[in-house]
Amino acid sequence: MVERRPHDRKQQILAAAGDLFRERGYHNVSVADVAAEVGITAPALYRHFRNKPDLLHSAVQAGLDSLFATVSESEDLKALLTNLSSSVSRRRGLFLLWQREARHLPAQQRELMRAQVKDVAARVAALIRAERPELHDGDEYLLGWSVIAVFGSISGHRVALGRRQMEALLYALAERVVLARVGVSESRDQPQGRPVSVTLPRRELLLIEAIRLFDERGYQSVNTEEIGEAAGTTGPNVYNHFDAKVDLLVAAVSRGGERRRLGAAQAMTEAGSPDEALIGLLKAHIDFAITERHLLGVLISELDQLPDKFRKTCEQSQREYLGLWVQVLDEVKPGLTPAEARITVSAALTVVENAVRTGRLRRRPDLAERLAEIGTAVLLGN
């Protein structure tokens, strides 16, 4: 008896590839790994996809097409939140694939995808504007991106809830964003000041450029020649300051973790109540994200490239950081289950992190104030 190929084999391959790219990172996954996950051979996979880049492109594009269709088919804001709650709870990995792995695609493909993502954000913003015509110009776009961030936040963790519970919680968190009270700051229309020109030591300049390149292109897509050139020197000169490329990554992650820890510690020390502690943590995270967005990007996307022992230490530090937020949130707003609290905290953090990594939003002089308002709404409700 001849065994027939399943009619949805291509979709099975895409789903398996998306999961593996999300869990291990694009460079750590081979075509053979994907094929084995589906239960086929690599040659059988090549009947559907030309190579691994084609597989990555198809996996990301399929997710973006699904997101675009969900948003386009939503006639009003309530329908949008309902549809997104249902779709993303079943397909968690898209946001992380787009944010982290799409960097490895050719520039032309990324630009086409970026245009599609911007179109999605614009459609969400238009539905928010229709619901809240009193908003100041541009605020609907910030809220639209924040809604997308709430739904995308579950891509970055494995916290589980029942399907209906997850959908209800995501709907509630996104609705808090939509209804957030957004003020007007004096700094809203003021131009941002020019950066101060300072001559940095060579080691520091190398580290700064490495952090930027690791964030923009991924650790494995950057070599020491490129780092040296970006810092105004040569690749071999990198080794006068760092023994190996991985030492640049270790130094970057160490710096990011320490700066984030110090900000949280200061917020807790200065707080006179749990409410003040929670808002202090939020403002400290916003400040860190705005001033160190490339460093933040490395913390989000490159931990899997670290040596095992150091990676486990960093992951433990990340768990402790999130645990502190959950503990404080529980004191301010008791009654949430640990899973609900972690999902809520993750949504608030992702709103901040997504905004500082989106060019149009990052250029707002009042971004810190607006993110504090939106983040507070996500954590506590309106």
185-196, pLDDT tens digit by residue? Answer: 765 544 455 555
Distances (CA, A) of 351 to 28, 355, 378: 28, 6, 9
**What pLDDT, on the 0 to 100 scale, is given for residue 91?**
72
Which tokens sit at 15?
A: 């789903």
Q: Which residues contact 127 (CB under 8 A, 6 or more apart)?
A: 74, 76, 77, 80
How far is the C-alpha of 242 from the C-alpha of 236, rounded, in Å? 10
**What pLDDT, on the 0 to 100 scale, is given for residue 185?**
74
Global pTM value:
0.90
**What pLDDT, on the 0 to 100 scale, is given for residue 195?**
56
How far is the C-alpha of 84 from the C-alpha of 277, rounded, in Å? 32
Q: Which residues contact 380 (CB under 8 A, 6 or more apart)?
A: 278, 332, 333
Q: Which domains does the chain have, with CATH numbers?
A: 9-178 (1.10.357.10), 202-380 (1.10.357.10)
**266 C-beta neighbours (distance < 10 Å), count:** 13
Average pLDDT, the chain: 91
> Which residues of the chain have a pLDDT value below 70?
1-6, 186-198, 382
**What pLDDT, on the 0 to 100 scale, is given for residue 25?**
84
**What pLDDT, on the 0 to 100 scale, is given for residue 187?**
54
Q: Distance between alpha carbon 333 and the CA centroid of its chain, in Å?
A: 25
Q: Distance between alpha carbon 280 and the CA centroid of its chain, in Å?
A: 22
Per-residue pLDDT tens over the stretch 71-100:
999 999 999 999 999 988 777 777 888 888
**What pLDDT, on the 0 to 100 scale, is given for residue 1?**
36
Which tokens sit at 324?
A: 């502190």
Instruction: Please state the φ and ψ torsions of residue 292, each to the nearest 5 degrees.
Output: -135, 50
**What pLDDT, on the 0 to 100 scale, is given for residue 5?**
60
Which residue do the tokens 């065994």 mark? Answer: 3
**283 C-beta neighbours (distance < 10 Å), count:** 18
Per-residue pLDDT tens over the stretch 156-180:
788 888 889 999 999 999 999 999 9
Per-residue pLDDT tens over the stretch 92-141:
777 888 888 888 899 999 999 999 999 999 999 999 999 999 999 999 99
**What pLDDT, on the 0 to 100 scale, is given for residue 23?**
83
